[in-house]
Amino acid sequence: MTERAYRLVVGISMLGFLFFQLDYAMWALLSLMAIEGLTNWRIPILVSKALYPNDNIEVTDGENQHNSFNYEAERMLRWIVFTLVLLGTIKHTEELLWFFPWFVGLMLLLAGVTGICPMVMALRKIGLK
Protein backbone atom coordinates (compact mmCIF):
# COMPACT_ATOMS: atom_id res chain seq x y z
CA MET A 1 0.00 0.00 0.00
CA THR A 2 1.35 3.39 -0.92
CA GLU A 3 0.91 6.68 0.88
CA ARG A 4 -1.19 7.84 -2.07
CA ALA A 5 -3.62 4.93 -1.71
CA TYR A 6 -3.73 5.44 2.04
CA ARG A 7 -4.63 9.13 1.63
CA LEU A 8 -7.40 8.14 -0.77
CA VAL A 9 -8.84 5.60 1.66
CA VAL A 10 -8.63 7.98 4.62
CA GLY A 11 -10.19 10.83 2.63
CA ILE A 12 -13.10 8.71 1.42
CA SER A 13 -13.59 7.26 4.91
CA MET A 14 -13.51 10.68 6.56
CA LEU A 15 -16.01 12.18 4.13
CA GLY A 16 -18.28 9.15 4.51
CA PHE A 17 -18.14 9.31 8.31
CA LEU A 18 -18.94 13.01 8.22
CA PHE A 19 -21.77 12.64 5.73
CA PHE A 20 -23.47 9.82 7.63
CA GLN A 21 -22.62 11.43 11.00
CA LEU A 22 -20.77 8.38 12.33
CA ASP A 23 -19.14 10.07 15.31
CA TYR A 24 -17.58 6.93 16.80
CA ALA A 25 -16.02 5.96 13.49
CA MET A 26 -14.65 9.50 13.16
CA TRP A 27 -13.13 9.30 16.64
CA ALA A 28 -11.59 5.92 15.73
CA LEU A 29 -10.03 7.48 12.63
CA LEU A 30 -8.72 10.36 14.75
CA SER A 31 -7.24 7.88 17.21
CA LEU A 32 -5.53 6.07 14.35
CA MET A 33 -4.03 9.35 13.11
CA ALA A 34 -2.78 10.20 16.60
CA ILE A 35 -1.22 6.76 17.07
CA GLU A 36 0.46 6.91 13.67
CA GLY A 37 1.78 10.40 14.38
CA LEU A 38 3.04 9.42 17.81
CA THR A 39 4.67 6.08 17.01
CA ASN A 40 5.45 6.47 13.27
CA TRP A 41 3.97 2.98 12.70
CA ARG A 42 2.20 3.98 9.55
CA ILE A 43 -0.37 1.65 7.99
CA PRO A 44 1.18 1.75 4.47
CA ILE A 45 4.56 0.64 5.84
CA LEU A 46 3.02 -2.13 7.97
CA VAL A 47 0.92 -3.41 5.05
CA SER A 48 3.95 -3.37 2.74
CA LYS A 49 6.01 -5.30 5.29
CA ALA A 50 3.20 -7.86 5.65
CA LEU A 51 2.76 -8.30 1.88
CA TYR A 52 6.46 -8.27 0.99
CA PRO A 53 8.39 -9.65 3.98
CA ASN A 54 11.63 -10.14 2.01
CA ASP A 55 11.90 -6.49 0.98
CA ASN A 56 13.73 -4.19 3.35
CA ILE A 57 11.09 -1.50 3.73
CA GLU A 58 12.03 0.81 6.57
CA VAL A 59 11.46 4.33 7.70
CA THR A 60 14.72 6.20 7.19
CA ASP A 61 16.30 7.93 10.12
CA GLY A 62 17.57 10.82 8.04
CA GLU A 63 21.30 10.43 8.70
CA ASN A 64 22.29 10.89 5.08
CA GLN A 65 19.75 13.56 4.29
CA HIS A 66 20.40 17.28 4.59
CA ASN A 67 17.21 18.51 6.17
CA SER A 68 16.72 21.10 8.86
CA PHE A 69 14.57 18.81 11.00
CA ASN A 70 14.88 15.10 11.68
CA TYR A 71 11.12 14.52 11.39
CA GLU A 72 9.17 13.05 8.50
CA ALA A 73 6.64 15.09 6.53
CA GLU A 74 4.20 12.16 6.40
CA ARG A 75 4.32 11.84 10.17
CA MET A 76 3.69 15.56 10.59
CA LEU A 77 0.80 15.30 8.12
CA ARG A 78 -0.87 12.84 10.48
CA TRP A 79 -0.53 15.32 13.36
CA ILE A 80 -1.93 18.17 11.27
CA VAL A 81 -4.89 16.05 10.14
CA PHE A 82 -5.51 14.99 13.73
CA THR A 83 -5.38 18.57 15.02
CA LEU A 84 -7.58 20.14 12.35
CA VAL A 85 -10.21 17.43 12.49
CA LEU A 86 -10.17 17.46 16.30
CA LEU A 87 -10.73 21.23 16.30
CA GLY A 88 -13.71 20.79 14.00
CA THR A 89 -15.30 17.97 15.97
CA ILE A 90 -15.01 19.29 19.53
CA LYS A 91 -18.49 20.24 20.72
CA HIS A 92 -17.54 23.80 21.73
CA THR A 93 -16.13 24.69 18.32
CA GLU A 94 -18.36 22.50 16.15
CA GLU A 95 -20.54 25.38 14.94
CA LEU A 96 -17.63 27.69 14.18
CA LEU A 97 -15.13 25.28 12.64
CA TRP A 98 -17.42 22.70 11.02
CA PHE A 99 -15.60 23.05 7.68
CA PHE A 100 -12.18 21.86 8.96
CA PRO A 101 -12.99 18.10 8.86
CA TRP A 102 -14.73 18.45 5.49
CA PHE A 103 -11.81 20.42 4.04
CA VAL A 104 -9.23 17.94 5.35
CA GLY A 105 -11.23 14.98 4.05
CA LEU A 106 -11.62 16.56 0.62
CA MET A 107 -7.93 17.47 0.42
CA LEU A 108 -6.89 13.93 1.42
CA LEU A 109 -9.23 12.54 -1.23
CA LEU A 110 -7.76 14.85 -3.88
CA ALA A 111 -4.22 14.05 -2.74
CA GLY A 112 -5.00 10.36 -3.11
CA VAL A 113 -6.49 10.79 -6.57
CA THR A 114 -3.83 13.10 -7.99
CA GLY A 115 -0.79 11.96 -6.01
CA ILE A 116 0.01 15.56 -5.11
CA CYS A 117 -0.35 16.60 -1.48
CA PRO A 118 0.20 20.34 -1.01
CA MET A 119 0.68 19.96 2.76
CA VAL A 120 3.45 17.38 2.38
CA MET A 121 5.09 19.55 -0.28
CA ALA A 122 4.98 22.56 2.07
CA LEU A 123 6.35 20.52 4.97
CA ARG A 124 9.23 19.28 2.85
CA LYS A 125 9.90 22.83 1.69
CA ILE A 126 10.33 24.02 5.29
CA GLY A 127 12.86 21.27 5.95
CA LEU A 128 11.10 18.07 7.01
CA LYS A 129 12.29 14.91 5.32
pLDDT (tens digit per residue) in 17-66:
999 999 999 999 999 999 999 998 889 888 888 888 887 655 554 444 55
Q: Return d(Cα 92, Cα 97) in angstroms, integer.
A: 10
Cα–Cα distances in angstroms (integers) from residue 119 to residues 27, 46, 48, in the given order: 22, 23, 24
Q: Return d(Cα 104, Cα 84) in angstroms, integer.
A: 8
Q: Return d(Cα 120, Cα 129) in angstroms, integer.
A: 10
Amino acid 26: pLDDT: 94
Amino acid 96: pLDDT: 86
pTM for this model (two decimals) = 0.84
